[in-house]
Amino acid sequence: MMVLISYDVSTIDKLGRTRLRKVAKECQNHGQRVQNSVFEADLDYSSFLKLKNRLLKIIDPEKDSLRFYYLGNNWGKRIEHIGIKQTYNPEGTIIV
């Protein structure tokens, strides 16, 4: 299933900047960066839950936020990109 993951991590202190790096790295390991803090991950449910749990352990829920958008299987029709960075074929690029 395709999941869009977006995050806001507070970077006003060093701990926040560390969390930001960790969140970004975790998302990069399992999805495709499409914008600065927006990733798309095409994962089976089990892999997605593992990723989600890892992200939950990294963020500070009182300072940061995560949003997951479950785009389903017909996700190709749901996405439109304009401007820099090409759309992509996730099957070809995702590291699971």
Residue ranges of the binding site for Mg(2+): 8
The structure tokens 């299987």 sit at 73
The verdict on 14 binding a second copy (CB under 8 A) reads no
DSSP 31: S
- Alpha-carbon distance of 78 to 72, in angstroms, equals 9
Binder among 14, 44, 73, 77 for a second copy (CB under 8 A): 77
The structure tokens 């202190």 sit at 13
Site map 19..38 versus a second copy, x via CB under 8 A: ---------------xxxxx
The structure tokens 């439109």 sit at 80
The verdict on 64 binding a second copy (CB under 8 A) reads yes
Binder among 27, 41, 51, 59 for a second copy (CB under 8 A): 59
